[in-house]
Each structure stands twice: as structure tokens, then as C-alpha cells.
Structure 1
Amino acid sequence: MEHLKIKIGIVDDDLLFVQLLKNYIENNDRYQVVLTSTGGHHFLTEQASNPLDILILDLRMTNGDGLEVMSALSQHTTETKIIVLSSFYRRSFMGQMLKMGAHAFLSKEIELEELVSVINAVYHNGHYFSNEQIDVMRGQLSNKLPEFHAFSKNELTEREMDVLRLVCQQLSTKEIADSLFISPKTVETHKTNLMIKTGVKNMAGLVIYAVQNNIVDPNEIVLFDK
């Protein structure tokens, strides 16, 4: 049986960059670029009829920037995972990008081969952090930061805590299910409950919650192995 392709959208106001990236990505038969746009406003009018698994999004664009796109998408329930790919990359912006709903934040200086690895990591694991980003988050996560969750860690069930720890190991839903001897559907239910209880929007937010609440040691977080 033929495997479904991962559906990707690219939004960037550099048309040449969009075309080159589209051609490179589609050299891998696991991916299909189903939507491209040179501005956020155009993308938002087209994306409803083109459901995406992954959105590769620039930050600075004249016709609707990346922040506008993320803000608009956050108003709706969507399975699309957002990879922000920008020349305006700063490690210190990592927290803001996660808060806005990004699942990965990358510089345009990234190698194309590595970008494809990140796409794969985000699709299967829900997020991607580099070593330097983990270091930044270690510095940013302190007792002075405001709590941004609705439930305390004591109100999470033991099984939810198990799932949360495995999410921080970047295991896929199937791998978590196999590890805990439960069904993938049950894992997804636990993930949904975790996001509701912690008040975060994505898997990356769950990792930050786990570090902030001393559920996992930041040094033990498993990074994606290229």
C-alpha cells in the first residue's frame, strides 16, 4: 500500500527561494509541497482548502508577516505544525516563537539536508530543538518566570506524567504506545489532556512545562539525532 505523503506549505516572499526549496523537498518522495505563497495574507486565504502537515514560514514579509500567520492560525484548531525559517533568527526569540505556536525555529543558514531532517522530526515528534536552543531555554527557565499553566504538576495523573517524560525524549506516538503498552489513540488522548491541563499549545510547550516544573532535567532531554 502506498504511504501518504507529508503535505508541506512554504510561505516566503523570496520567490526564487520558494521554488528552489520546493524542488529540493520534492526530490524526496515522502514529501509533497501542496501550497506555496509569497505572503501571509495570500496563504491565509488559500490554506483552508489545502490542509497541511508542515508549514515552513518566513517571519519578515511585506504582504502579511509570519507573526500574523501564526496569530491567525492560533485562533483555529489545526494539525499543521509550523517551522519558522528566517534570516531574522535570534536564539533569544525562541520563547516568543514557541508562545506564538511554532514547533521549530531555524535560521536560513541551515543546510537543506538538515532542514529535511528537522521536517521529519517535527512531523513525527511534534517539535525540534537544537543544542543551542536547549541551552538558551535552560537560561530562560527560572523561578522568576510566570507560571503559564492552569493545573499544577500534582494534578497530572501518573500515566500523564509517564507520557510527558517520553514526549521529552522525542518519542513518536507509536513509540510511546509501545513503551507503555497502550494504544496510539490512548497516547493522543493523554497528550490532549496534558495540553489542556498545562495550558500550552503544542509538544514544544509541554517540554518547557516539564523543565519548568522539574519533571525532567534539561540535561536529559533527547535531541533529534540527524
Structure 2
Amino acid sequence: MCRIAILEQFNLFGSGIKSILEDADQFNVVILADSVNKLLAGKGIEKPDVIIFDIIHDDNSGIKVLKRINRTFSGVPVLLIVSNHYADCFEEYIRLGVKGFIFHNSSGKELIKAIKKLKNGEEYFAMKVWDIFRSTIRARKAKAKNITSNKLTEREITVLKLFTKGLSYKEIGVDLNISPRTVETHKRNILAKLKIRSTADMIKYAYRNNILA
């Protein structure tokens, strides 16, 4: 019996994943947590063979959470539930030790297949992941050619305008159909180009230069 830990912010989705696995009669969900603190606290119950983490509902692309999981559950493979919006984070997820991706619209059958792969010490990266990697790399190269060192790009101006409205990384990401991690990257670029240090400085710059949403 494969022991599973599930980290899912919304109980309804977590219960749905648990139901799929228990119906398969091959898995035992030993931890069902709606926060990383509850997941880590569950270590004393029974060590899981695989951890499933729904990254889509995390406020910061899951990077900090994954680092905490790695420290507490060293060696336990992590399967992420992702969407295309998080494609720019895939490489970092892998660097943090993630062993598999499954998309939010995948079937229960694929979920089970992915878990079995990870339980057996293998990885699970569907062909769709490699397609996204290729398109992301192409887009990154194209963007690098167009970036200038002394002025903001149209996307950076858009991000700056949204910051003046008081939106969070996640809210801006939803508005622009990008991940919070990408929003953070845009912010770093804006700060570097404008030679300023904080969000407050960004907003001051926007007001002084009439760059308002």
C-alpha cells in the first residue's frame, strides 16, 4: 500500500484527490493538509511515500513551501499539480527536487500513473511539460533580445500600473495570466532599471511620471 500525503489549500479539492486514490484501493492517504504547517506536523503520524502538492493555490508559486517540504521530508518525492501559468517556474521546481508534474485538468488515471512512477523511484514529466519547456525557452530568448537597459518594456509598465493599484503578486498574475513568480521577476527588473529599492519607490515613480492604471 502506497502512503500518500496531500497538500491542498481547499478541502473540497483535497477530498476529491483522496477519494480518487482510495477508490483505486492501492493507496493510503496518511496526511490530508490544507496548509504547509499541518503537512509538516503530520510527519509524526506516518512518513508518506509520495507527497502531492497543488501548487496552483499557493500564493507564491510554491517555492518557499517546497523548500520547507524538502527540509522536513527529505528524500520523499513530490508530485505537483500545476497549470500552464506556472511554466516559467518548472525549472526551479525541478532544481528543488520535484519529481513529477500533473496538470490540473488531468484524469484520475494519469494521477495514479504518476504516483506509481514516483513511488518506484522514477520521474513523471508528460510530453506537455517538454513542449512548455521548449516554448518557454524560445520566449525567453526572444525577450532577451528586446530588453533595453534604460527603459521599461510594455509588460513592465503594465505590471508597474497594477502595483499602483495595490494588487498582490498573485492578483497581478491572475490579471495578466502569468505566475506570481513571473510578476516578482518583472518587479526586480523594474527596480534594477529605475535604480530604486522598493514597491513604494515604484509607486512614487509611477505618480511622478504619470504612469497610472
Normalising by the residue count of structure 1, what TM-score does the alignment of the two structures yield?
0.53
Instruction: Quote the offset at 1:64 in angstroms.
Output: 9.3
In structure 2, the residue matched to 1:101 is 97
In structure 2, the residue matched to 1:193 is none
In structure 2, the residue matched to 1:118 is 114
Which has the larger share of helix?
Answer: 2
Is 1:18 the equivalent of 2:17? Answer: no
Q: How many aligned positions are there?
A: 138
Q: 1:66 to 1:42 in 2, by over 3 A?
A: farther
Mapped to 2, the partners of 1:104 and 1:15 lie a distance apart of 22
Instruction: Quote the offset at 1:14 in angstroms.
Output: 1.1
Gaps of 5+ in 1: 145-226
Q: 1:87 to 1:134 in 2, by over 3 A?
A: closer
**Residues 37-83 of structure 1, C-alpha deviations (whole Å, 9 max, x = no match):** 11112111222432011111022557997333310133356231101
Mapped to 2, the partners of 1:119 and 1:11 lie a distance apart of 14
Instruction: Name the larger-Rg structure.
Output: 2
In structure 1, the residue matched to 2:43 is 47
Q: 1:8 to 1:89 in 2, by over 3 A?
A: farther
In structure 1, the residue matched to 2:165 is none
Q: 1:15 to 1:96 in 2, by over 3 A?
A: same
Mapped to 2, the partners of 1:43 and 1:22 lie a distance apart of 15
**Residues 75-101 of structure 1, C-alpha deviations (whole Å, 9 max, x = no match):** 356231101113574333210110122
Q: 2:80 aligns with which of 78, 81, 84?
A: 84
Mapped to 2, the partners of 1:83 and 1:130 lie a distance apart of 12
Is 1:38 the equivalent of 2:9? Answer: no
Matched residue of 2:31: which SS? Answer: strand
Q: CA RMSD in A?
A: 2.8
Normalising by the residue count of structure 2, what TM-score does the alignment of the two structures yield?
0.56
